[in-house]
A and B are shown apart, each in its own frame.
Chain A
Amino acid sequence: MNPIDQNPNPIENALKEALRREDAPETLAAKVLMHVAQKSAESQPQHSWLAIFSRPALRWAAFAGVSTCLTLGGIHYRHLQRERVQGEAAKQQLMLALRIAGSKLHMAKEKVNDINAPRPESQPDNRIPRSRS
């Protein structure tokens, strides 16, 4: 049978007495906690304002805000694009109308010019009138 499993004998009792736990130095816990505090301070983020996003509610609010802004921006951009296309079309129509009106005016002007143009004078009748006799 394994002597370790037997009832404790004097040598084992003496070993238990010799190897019993000792109190740790008073300073041990304080030193450990100080090191931990130092490490925690060093690992703090430089930009503390980012810490607000550590809260889930604020993170979701920020996400919702950004999403809304992007959606509204997209809609506004599409609206501007549509207005610009419509403006271009209106401009083209106006230019066409102006060209037509211009050509009509030109034609009217030519007509007026034709009307007002001096007629060529009738040729003097150089023929000798015939005698009636």
Chain B
Amino acid sequence: MAMAALPAADHAPAIAGTDFADIVRRYQSMVFSIARHFLGDPSSAEELAQDVFLQLHSVLDDLESEEHIKFWLRKVTAHRCIDHRRRRRPPQISLEDAPEPSTRGNSGDPLLARRLRQYVTSLPEKPRLEMILRYQEDMLPEDIADVLSMPVATVKSHLQRSLAMLRVKVTRTIGEVTR
């Protein structure tokens, strides 16, 4: 759903009387987690989240609803993540070079979860953000396309490719572990 084209009914004064501190508390986990999963570094993620909320404070009067705030936060966090990564350019671990886990994993396995996060972190910027928004925020490809200002078809294509790569990687990992 494109927030720029919200119907008038959605422009209800949902944030009238809303305290800025409440907004920060409500969305800090979302903003921090997007940055954390993208950057892989909690201190950088915290710094980035702070900047996002300070920017939000300066534009809060222009945002018309709770949904608008959520959309704005996701969009600005995503773009700031890309900017941050381009400025700092840490050494990237490619998906192929990432080490295999040493124990068998399942959906509740912390080691598998950690390995999956590493695989996601090794993806290129846009596909990485798409995976984070899809599986962290449970967003539809159409909404991800709005946030990242990309064609829906491109988002779907990226998601399919990333998912296929991760599936191969995880299958190989489980195979190795079970050997």
Contact surface of A with B, Cβ cutoff 8 Å: 2-4, 10-25, 27-29, 31-33, 35-36, 39
Contacts and interface: CB of A to CB of B under 8 A. Distances in A.
A22 B160 CA distance: 25
Q: Is the interface of B mostly helix, strand, loop or mixed?
A: helix
Interface in B7-58: 20-21, 24-25, 28-33, 36-37, 42, 46, 49-50, 53-54, 57
B46 A29 contact: no
Interface string B116-159: 11001000000000011011101001000000000000001001
Contacts of B49: 24, 28
A25 B21 CA distance: 15
Q: Is the interface of A mostly helix, strand, loop or mixed?
A: helix
B54 A19 contact: no
Question: 9 nearest interchain CB pairs?
Answer: A24-B32, A18-B116, A18-B113, A24-B28, A19-B136, A15-B135, A21-B33, A32-B53, A19-B135
Given A16-B136, A23-B29, A39-B54, 6 more contacts: A15-B135, A18-B135, A19-B37, A22-B36, A28-B24, A28-B46
B163 interface: yes
A12 B135 contact: yes
Interface in B94-121: 105-108, 112-114, 116-117, 120
A20 B136 contact: yes
Interface residues of B, number: 43
Contact of B50 (A18, A19, A23, A35): A35
A11 B113 contact: no
B170 interface: yes
Nearest to B115: A18
A22 B107 contact: no
Contacts of B82: none
B166 interface: yes
Contacts of A39: 54, 57
